[in-house]
Amino acid sequence: MRRASRLIVALDVKDAGTALRLAKECRAVADAVKVGWPLTLSAGPQMISRLAAEADVICDFKIADIPPISATITAAAFALGAKGVICHGFAGEDSVRACVEAARGDVFVVTEMSHPGGQQFTAPIAEDLAKIAVKAGASGIVAPATRPERVKRLRAIVGDLVILSPGAGAQGGSPGDAIAAGADYVIVGRAITESPDPAKAARGIADEIRAAAKR
Ligand code: NUP
């Protein structure tokens, strides 16, 4: 995955035309796009292949099943053209390892989730989930831009693994603070996709990231 702007755009939209338009508009600034269940279920899995022709695609399927099923989902995402997948750590080290073994690219493990409810169950076990990511050989983790101090703490656990940080913008986090806390990439969805000028919004966030990286 390119590491230039350090911005990943979450394409949580419902139709193919909008997703492709956003991917094209943000192509010059974003390092990758992220596709989850909203777009996959409404526009179909082939959407991943269509987007893969425009950009690096991370499939955010939050895979959390028994190892053989997690492996099958992972393999299917890469066969469609994904460059990375996101799985949950709470399914256990064997399930994360199954994703890693089935992957033809990056596997990122969700640790502490960015929304308020993420503090209920994921926060208390986030450090163990980060250790699972390291032990299972994952490429990186997902850590909350809404709580930069947690990104910093999780960075201390994962060493040089890649940290993707969602929660900036619509969820209240700051892209610059997440980067300053140790994130490699910031994931931003609605602050870009719901903006009247998505490319301009993406450029503004990339500027914030660049300034924070120099801090
Ligand atoms: O903890 C997480 N929080 C989160 O928001 C893990 C995630 N994968 N995400 C995803 O990041 C979420 O599914 C959405 O696609 C994106 C954030 O979108 P937005 O709040 O910037 O619109």
pLDDT in tens, 1-36: 899 999 999 999 999 999 999 999 999 999 999 999
Give yes or no for residue 60 having a pLDDT over 90: yes
Q: Which residues pair with 165 in a beta bridge?
A: 186
From the list 37, 40, 83, the residue with the least C-alpha distance to 64 is 37
2 in Cβ contact with 33 (< 8 Å) = no
SS3 113: coil
Please give the angle made by the CA atoms of 119, 68 and 8, to the nearest 5 degrees. 50
**What confidence category does residue 121 fall into, taking pLDDT thresholds of 50, 70 and 90?**
very high
Verify whether ligand 1 is closer than 6 Å to residue 173 (CB atom): no
Best residue for ligand 1 mutational test, from 34, 119, 187, 208 (most atoms within 8 Å of Cβ)? 187
Q: How far is CA 94 from CA 67, 68, 129, in A?
A: 6, 10, 12
31 in Cβ contact with 2 (< 8 Å) = yes
161 in Cβ contact with 141 (< 8 Å) = yes
The mean predicted confidence, pLDDT, of the chain is 97
From the list 49, 28, 26, the residue with the least C-alpha distance to 39 is 49
Residue from 14, 62, 152, 214 carrying the catalytic annotation? 62
Give yes or no for residue 215 having a pLDDT over 90: no
8-state DSSP, 161: S
Mean pLDDT for the stretch of residues 77-91? 98
Long-range contacts, stretch 132-137, CB < 8 angstroms, 24+ apart:
132/89, 132/92, 132/93, 132/96, 133/89, 133/96, 133/109, 133/158, 133/161, 134/158, 134/159, 134/161, 135/93, 136/93, 136/96, 136/97, 136/99, 136/100, 136/109, 137/97, 137/100
Rg (CA), the chain: 16
pTM for this structure? 0.98
Q: Which residues pair with 162 in a beta bridge?
A: 140
Going by CA atoms, what residue is nearest to atom 15 of ligand 1?
Answer: 10
**What confidence category does residue 185 fall into, taking pLDDT thresholds of 50, 70 and 90?**
very high
Q: Which residues pair with 110 in a beta bridge?
A: 88, 142
Give yes or no for residue 154 having a pLDDT over 90: yes
Annotated catalytic, 34?
no
Shortest-distance atom of ligand 1 to CA 12: 15
Q: Which residues pair with 167 in a beta bridge?
A: none
